């Protein structure tokens, strides 16, 4: 029967041969996350977000809201009116749309009409964050898509309240119209801000590449 290391030392003293036990090397399952890999991951998320935003914009404004005009006698939906609308138009639209048609408009607002500003806003936050290094400028640019998402969601709720109200109130019309116009303006500004962020990101990348080339020379 084999003796334990303690028994060997007790019998033979310091000269006892004690077998050495080596623990297996610890394998680190973690992978190194290089800046290039992180940039690639963010680029994939950006592409997916842009594609989803384009699809939802097409689905809401160019497909669904256009199809709802078949239930309103050809009158456009309030969301589609870039220049806003007045009380006369809303009264005419309310008369042309029955409860089911208004319910369908409300359903669009709660589904794709909610997803579009949220996904667009998140995508633009990521776009700006990955291209603009200066924190004050980044926060200033972030404000535009954040405002767009908030105004667009508020506008959806204001239009639904206006269309479903038992008695139309002039204040509701003014609020819904103002939010609709503001939403379109902020959408255009968000696109401009996104383009500016991409331009700044490419400019900074070119500057870093030039600096690296000068240092190597």
The most confident of 3-17, 25-39, 198-212, by mean pLDDT: 198-212
Residue 129 has pLDDT above 70, yes or no: yes
* DSSP calls for the chain: -PPPHHHHHHHHGGG-------PPPPP-------HHHHHHHHHHHHHHHHHHHHHHHIIIIIIIHHHHGGGTTTPPPGGG-TT---HHHHHHHHHH--HHHHHHHHHHHHTHHHHHHHHHHHHHHHHHHHH---HHHHHHHHHHHHHHHHHHHHHHHHHHHHHH-SS--HHHHHHHHHHHHHHHHHHHHHHHHHHHHHHHHHHHHHHHHHHHHHHH-
Counting residues of the chain whose pLDDT is more than 90, the rounded percentage is: 71
How far is Cα 35 from Cα 42, in angstroms, rounded to an integer? Answer: 11
Tokens of 59: 């689905």
How far is Cα 210 from Cα 208, in angstroms, rounded to an integer? Answer: 5
pLDDT of residue 92: 97
pLDDT of residue 22: 54
CA-to-CA dists, residue 26 to 19, 113, 175, angstroms: 21, 51, 64
In a domain, 183, yes or no: yes
**How confident is the model over 63-95, as pLDDT tens digits?**
999 999 999 999 999 999 999 999 999 999 999
> Whole-model pTM?
0.79
How far is Cα 98 from Cα 93, in angstroms, rounded to an integer? Answer: 10
How far is Cα 152 from Cα 179, in angstroms, rounded to an integer? Answer: 7
In a domain, 117, yes or no: yes
pLDDT of residue 124: 96
**Which domain, by its residues, includes 138?**
39-202
Average pLDDT over residues 96-119: 97
Average pLDDT over residues 1-20: 57
How far is Cα 77 from Cα 94, in angstroms, rounded to an integer? Answer: 11
In a domain, 8, yes or no: no
In a domain, 170, yes or no: yes
How far is Cα 12 from Cα 97, in angstroms, rounded to an integer? Answer: 102
**How confident is the model over 179-211, as pLDDT tens digits?**
999 999 999 999 999 999 999 888 776 656 555
Name the domain count of the chain. Answer: 1
In a domain, 161, yes or no: yes
In a domain, 62, yes or no: yes
């Amino acid at each position: 029967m084999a003796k334990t290391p303690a028994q060997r030392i007790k019998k033979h003293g310091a000269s006892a041969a004690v077998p050495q036990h080596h623990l297996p090397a610890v394998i680190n399952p973690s992978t190194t996350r290089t800046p290039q890999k992180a940039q690639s991951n963010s680029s994939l998320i950006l592409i997916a977000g842009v594609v989803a935003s384009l699809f939802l914009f097409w689905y809401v404004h160019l497909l669904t809201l256009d199809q709802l005009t078949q239930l309103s006698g050809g009158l456009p939906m309030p969301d589609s009116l870039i220049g806003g609308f007045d009380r006369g138009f809303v009264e005419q639209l309310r008369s042309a749309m029955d409860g089911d048609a208004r319910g369908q408009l409300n359903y669009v607002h709660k589904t794709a009409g909610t997803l579009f500003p949220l996904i667009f806003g998140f995508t633009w936050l990521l776009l700006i964050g990955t291209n603009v290094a200066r924190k004050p400028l980044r926060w200033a640019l972030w404000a535009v898509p954040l405002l767009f998402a908030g105004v667009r969601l508020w506008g959806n709720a204001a239009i639904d309240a206006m269309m479903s109200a038992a008695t139309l109130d002039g204040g509701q019309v003014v609020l819904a119209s103002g939010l609709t116009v503001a939403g379109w303006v902020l959408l255009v500004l968000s696109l401009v801000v996104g383009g500016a962020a991409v331009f700044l990101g490419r400019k900074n990348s070119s500057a870093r590449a030039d600096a690296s080339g000068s240092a190597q020379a």
